[in-house]
Chain A
Amino acid sequence: MKKAIIDFKDFSFKYRSQVEPTLVNINLTIYEGERVLIVGPSGSGKSTLAHCINGLVPFSYKGDIEGSLTILDQETKGLDLFSLSKMVGTVLQDPDGQFIGLSVGEDIAFVLENDGVPQEQMNKQVVDVSRLVEMDDHIDTSIHELSGGQKQRVSLGGVLVDKVAILLFDEPLANLDPATGKHAITLIDQVQKETNTTVVIIEHRLEDVLHESVDRIIVMDEGKIVNDTTPDALLVSNVLESSNIREPLYIKALKYANVPLTEEMRPAHITTLDIDACKANLQEWFEHADSAVSRGKTTPVIAVQNLHFGYHRERQILHDISFSIDQGEMVSIVGKNGAGKSTLSRLICGFEKAQSGKILFRGEDITNDTIRQRAERIGMVMQNPNHMISKHIIYDEVALGLVMRGVPKEEIKSRVEKTLKVCGLYPFRNWPISALSFGQKKRVTIASILVLNSEILILDEPTAGQDFRHYTEMMEFLVELNRQGVTILMITHDMHLMLEYTPRAIVIADGRILADDSAVNILSNEEVIAQANLKQTSLLDLAVRADIADPKEFVSRFIAFDKGVRKKWQ
């Protein structure tokens, strides 16, 4: 019998500020050396569960506990945050926010400093750990100069230096580009094997975590554990769908093709999947599925010509960017962290001035228009809604831009109410914004931009940090806006979003346009994928393995079919 390392027994927890308990009657045992993934929609209690393990609950976030939780045979209620932090190392979600040291070495050493380890020994330990996370060439590098993946390595190093028994990752993939996310999972796997720690990962990007194998997946919903089983068993069941968690795309394709999935077919990973059992069904489905209808050409609404930009002459951030977007298109802008995607959107909105090049709106040169003039045509929605909200009541927030423009009161009222209806916020118009969820806040910021009658919306990571249900709601809302004539550009790391919602994608790598093509073509072009840190879709792997004559066509047919299915259940 393996040794139990984390043991919840009839455990419930209620935050002091809340009426209902967030965790209800949890019974869960995690054994030494296990790799466990915890998934669940937002509000399911998975983050609270993580906080119970690392001690933030109840020591920082107070509340009432019932039942027992033992970690390494010690009842956690009787311990304190510091003794727990010796057993559980936590890597938090936000890779920037959790850095405390300024250089790689200093950040890794933070735990040792707090333990009062003498400097000489500290230096030695930092070198050892940085070798383990492959950062030994960067010990003196400043944190700000690191890439997203390197940051992840450093935060892992900062936790490993303490020789903890349990590693806890709280949404480690959020904010990482797809390829970096893949490396992060590989790194976690590698470190786990070398140190034989117990690993608990909280994440809702299931398909990305399953890139390496995990032993068990625990599904949470509404504060309860609804499923606790192996990946293979979970994927053949219907639990994911009913708990609003996104299934891996290849699994969905198998289900559409009516493949009778069983655990023995090892569906947890595309390479272990018993393909022979699926081939016939997949090929048959492919023959019968309709191919996607491509949309006709319309007039260009915005065009960028030979844009150059850099803060310093020598170091250019964008080189010679040219593209044109048609009225009513929905386009993704993708590429690795720091490639220049956000800068491009800031140039289009006039937040920055280009060194050379032109921006045309319906053929009219708007390169020298002010931020305010451009805002009436092009709206920008920031990733963090809290960066945009400055009023207390929803109605006032949405009305702000019009009030500032001196629009007559009557007109403001009718325009705001119309926009609120479009955004599904009309019933809440007199609510305080603080009472809204993250996704709803985001809607408020979209409404406050739309009310200015912008014809183009640029959204920075519209679905970051949202679970599958909220993701679908947000995207369907954007599709509806798009149908009403708003042209939409999205900056995103989410390959699913790109594939499912935007027929066209522009790939930016190192400040240049690397590709401007259909999403399907881009996600099957290995060269582009490698250069821009993207990730090939598992659908393509599936099609190739199933000997389908035209794998790309398989992917587009799947997307078209999937859209049809979703429309039906709405």
Chain B
Amino acid sequence: MAVEMLSYIDRKSPVHALSGATKLIAFLMWSSAAMLSYDTRVLLVLFVLSIYIFKISQVKIREIGFVLAFILAFLLLNNVAIYIFSPQEGVKIYGTSHVLIEIVSRYNLTLEQLFYQFNITLKYFVVIPAALLFIVTTHPSEFAASLNKIGVNYKIAYSVSLAFRYIPDIQREFRIIAQSQQARGIDLSRNEKVWKRVKNVSTIVFPLILSSLERIEVVSNAMELRGFGKNKKRSWYSEKPFKQRDYITIIIAVLLLVLSLLITFHDGSRFYNPFI
């Protein structure tokens, strides 16, 4: 069957027990801390913490393996690109230059550049587990409720969660259409030239759009007939009420954010400089 990426993974764990809104707030704080800070000490602490949280969530690495591999590939690409476009960024930031290997003109390998790129990679590693955890431990029904709770209009929140929900359906439909087109001789395999393949995919996209439009009409009628959009506010059946652990989590998240910003900026620079 179609690979189900980023779908909810049901476990009994402290992370799952938290309300979706709590997780969303904590995730936003967490990623702001990771985004704003280049302080290696802060990032390392956050990294260790995120590994720990991942551990207690009881989600297995292989369950999110595909997405993780995808992100890591992207990270690698990102690192290569940074080096190609700005090989002296580290030197500029840290003010010293410890050359390890000379390559060509400005393309040398400095300790500063390595350290800078290590920091960037670390940022990824702080944010990725948190982001993935938020997605795979929040039940899709609760997803919209948590967006709404932090102030997003419920119509928008619902659209977002509906869109997520239809991804598997659309994958399935895509497969059905692709197979019926292949039967008529439309080749999507590597035997065909790239340009021809792209053109061939368009014969699938057209029916896919048509059937998606049909689906949208049915759902929007069904929703309107059951009173969606009538009031300014609505309640949520699967919203988890806030418990003590939710408050504690949010307080910890806020403290972590404040603390990491204090440590990062106390000397007026976002960077921790081990070279002076």
Contact = CB atoms under 8 A, between A and B. Distances in A.
Given A94-B218, A119-B235, A371 B226 contact: no
B43 to A, nearest CB: 37
A404 B234 contact: no
A387 B185 contact: no
A114 B230 contact: yes
B214 interface: yes
A82 B227 contact: yes
B1 A311 contact: yes
A97 B210 CA distance: 15
B125 to A, nearest CB: 32
Interface in A98-134: 98-103, 105-106, 109-119, 122-123, 126
Contacts of A99: 222
A404 B231 contact: no
> Chain A interface residue count: which class?
35 or more
A362 B219 CA distance: 46
Contacts of A404: 184-187
Contact of A122 (B206, B222, B235): B235
Nearest to B185: A404
A158 B223 CA distance: 11
Interface string B190-234: 000000000000111011001100110011011111111111011
A278 B241 CA distance: 67
B179 interface: yes
A315 to B, nearest CB: 11
Contacts of A380: 180, 183
A484 interface: no
A546 interface: no
Contacts of A159: 226
Contact of B140 (A102, A110, A112): A102
A60 B185 CA distance: 41
Contacts of B203: 390, 400
A323 interface: no
A469 interface: no
Given A109-B237, A122-B237, A97 B219 contact: yes
A439 interface: no
B238 interface: yes
A97 B169 CA distance: 11
A233 interface: no
A45 interface: no
Given A111-B227, A113-B237, A115-B230, A372 B187 contact: yes
B187 A119 contact: no
A166 to B, nearest CB: 12
A180 B241 CA distance: 39
Interface string A404-417: 11000000000000
A483 B61 CA distance: 59
Contacts of A86: 227
Nearest to A379: B183
| Residue of B182, B183, B230 contacting most chain A CB atoms (<10 Å) | B183
Contacts of B181: 388, 390
Contacts of A97: 215, 218-219, 222
B204 A106 contact: no
B93 interface: no
A371 B239 CA distance: 47
Contacts of B225: 54-56, 81, 85, 90, 92
Contact of A56 (B177, B211, B221, B241): B221
Interface string B165-181: 10000000100110111
Contacts of A101: 141, 237
A512 B235 CA distance: 46
A103 B210 CA distance: 27
Contact of B226 (A105, A106, A158): A158
B236 interface: yes
A106 B227 CA distance: 15
A372 B180 CA distance: 10
A351 B214 CA distance: 25
Contact of A81 (B165, B182, B210, B224): B224
B161 to A, nearest CB: 9
A448 interface: yes
B207 A390 contact: yes
Contacts of A112: 235, 237
A452 interface: yes
A307 interface: no
Given A114-B228, A448-B184, A386 B207 contact: yes
Contacts of B186: 400, 404
Contacts of A379: 183
A389 interface: yes
B228 A401 contact: no
B176 A387 contact: yes
A538 B237 CA distance: 45
| Residue of B184, B228, B238 contacting most chain A CB atoms (<10 Å) | B184
Nearest to A158: B226
Given A123-B237, A390-B207, 6 more contacts: A85-B225, A114-B234, A379-B183, A382-B176, A387-B177, A452-B185
12 contacts: A92-B218, A92-B221, A94-B218, A98-B222, A113-B235, A115-B227, A162-B227, A350-B183, A382-B180, A384-B211, A389-B207, A452-B185
Interface of A: 54-56, 60, 81-82, 85-86, 90, 92, 94, 97-103, 105-106, 109-119, 122-123, 126, 158-159, 162, 311, 346, 349-351, 371-372, 374-375, 379-380, 382, 384, 386-390, 400-401, 404-405, 448-449, 452
Interface of B: 1, 139-141, 165, 173, 176-177, 179-187, 202-204, 206-207, 210-211, 214-215, 218-219, 221-231, 233-239, 241
